[in-house]
Structure 1
Amino acid sequence: MERYTIEQRDKVVRAYYENGRSNQKTYRALRYILGQFNRPNVRTIGKIVKKFEKTGSVKDVKTPVHARSARTAENIAAVRDSLAAEPSISIRRRAQQLQLSRSSLMNIMQKDLQLHPNKERIADYKASIASSTESSKRNRKRVKHQSSSKTALKVTPEEIPSDAIHKHLCYFRFPRKSSSQ
């Protein structure tokens, strides 16, 4: 749909009142003012006049921007403190504790605190399990055997290196500090 300029809308309103407040007569009169193929149709004339009568202007109305309700400074600080105190809590549990929606919590973590899901750590975790000592080869054979029998693999903490546990629990990574600092 083509937008009409403010001057064109002004001409439509003037023609409307000059032609006895009739949309059809205004449509016919606009043929000589705006041209046969550049004039608005009867329904558009009605909308322009209705807007003029309601607001007193033919200018576009600016849409109001709604204020942030979830990503406030207080909520950002609360999330930052919660992450510092207990970094291993799940997103759902943290959202419940802070009384925020999960999507708002994720937006705060990603957009405001620059914390992003890092799949590399999960891959590092899997790689560290696969590459640890000779016993891991036996474990892999046991995993293949158990996965074929549809039973769950139970890995004890002693079998997993401590850095792999840390990488597994830290789903979100903090942004790296630049070397100049």
Structure 2
Amino acid sequence: MPKNKGGGGGGGKAKGGKDKSADSGSGETKKKEAKGGTAVKIENRALGTAKTNNPRLTAEERFFIVKTFYKTDNKSETCRRFQEKFNRTVKRDTVGRLVQRFESTGSCEDLPRPGRPKSVCTFEKTQIIRAAFAENPQKSTRQASQEFGISQRSIVRMLHDVKRQ
């Protein structure tokens, strides 16, 4: 078995067959010489570079996609023009789904999401409760619950949050 040339242990394989040099943290793709002299491509996935994080499309971007698709009647051309204008990419499937949603609902906006509704403990309601108890500190949470149409537990939760501030 041939010995390693070039010194003690900086560039060889780590335990388990993984290349130590791929863990540099730079997020770059590197080339490494394999046994037969061929270059092997090694990607560093430590920073999660495999996926990109695209933010949601704005209303202006959605409108542009639908309008451009109806002008060109071509998803690929719509994607190209979108990239020219907004300097970000959009997939052909996204264009298709947006156009389909526009045709079925007449709008480019998202449909309401299922699930638990928003909490009743909004900033405005908390301010109202705070003012009511500042005016009359002897008021009971049961009275406030009936007066404001908010559950007693929510009133207690709002008052508890007020104490922390």
Greater RCO, 1 or 2 (C-alpha within 8 Å, sep 6+): 1
| TM-score, normalised relative to structure 1 | 0.32
Answer 1 or 2: which has greater helix percent: 1
| TM-score, normalised relative to structure 2 | 0.35
Q: Which has the larger radius of gyration?
A: 1
